[in-house]
């Protein structure tokens, strides 16, 4: 039988009869010999100085936050630059597209003007042909001079 004092808030250990049992801070308990090593390893109050030394200080936290903010700012600046570059590229594409559209519109307008000129020429030929046609018909109806 090994007597121990519980140093933590609560510990589950194997008692001398071999049953798992819970013990609480400050109690004196009898621990089974097979569970002594585990009990002694777990029933240790950490050194407050060591725990405090391992804990981050406010300066450590501030530095970590500052570094994270700087990293995020750099990431955002890079994203901003990419967006600006994309916007400039989009604007260039829009200008090129507008120029291509204007060129096509100019071609269509030139073709319309050409068609209008051709139509005018056709109408003029048609009118001239219509004018010449009655003369032919008149000449065909006129009696021929007898010889």
What pLDDT, in 10s, does the model give residues 17-72?
999 999 999 999 999 999 999 999 988 887 766 767 778 888 989 999 999 999 99
| Residue 73 half-sphere exposure toward CB, CA atoms < 13 A | 6
Please give the pLDDT value at position 46: 74
Query: CA 134, CA 141: separation in Å to the nearest integer?
Result: 10
Provide the token pair at 50. 């060591």
**What mean pLDDT do residues 6-26 have?**
91
Residue pair 31/13 in contact (Cβ under 8 Å)? The answer is: yes
- Reference 1, options 12, 13, 22, 17; nearest CA is 17
pLDDT tens sequence across 61-120: 999 999 999 999 999 999 999 999 999 999 999 999 999 999 999 999 999 999 999 999
Residue pair 9/25 in contact (Cβ under 8 Å)? The answer is: yes
Please give the pLDDT value at position 62: 94
CA angle at 97 for the pair 91 and 98, rounded to the nearest 5°? 90
Please give the pLDDT value at position 8: 84
Domain boundaries, the chain: 2-54
Please give the pLDDT value at position 136: 63
More confident call, 80 vs 137: 80
Does position 146 have pLDDT exceeding 60, yes or no?
A: no
């Amino acid at each position: 039988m090994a007597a121990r004092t519980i140093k933590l808030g609560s510990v589950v250990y194997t008692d001398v009869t071999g049953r798992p049992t819970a013990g609480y801070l400050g109690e004196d308990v009898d621990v089974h010999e097979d569970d002594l090593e585990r009990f002694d390893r777990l029933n240790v109050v950490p050194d407050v100085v060591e725990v405090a030394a391992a804990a981050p200080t406010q300066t450590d936290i501030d530095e970590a936050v500052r570094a994270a903010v700087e990293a995020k700012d750099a990431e955002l600046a890079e994203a901003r630059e990419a967006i600006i570059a994309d916007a400039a590229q989009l604007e260039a594409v829009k200008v090129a597209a507008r120029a291509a559209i204007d060129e096509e519109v100019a071609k269509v307008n030139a073709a319309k003007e050409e068609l209008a000129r051709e139509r005018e020429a056709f109408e003029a030929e048609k009118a001239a042909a219509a004018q010449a046609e009655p003369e032919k018909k008149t000449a065909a109806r006129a009696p021929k001079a007898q010889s």
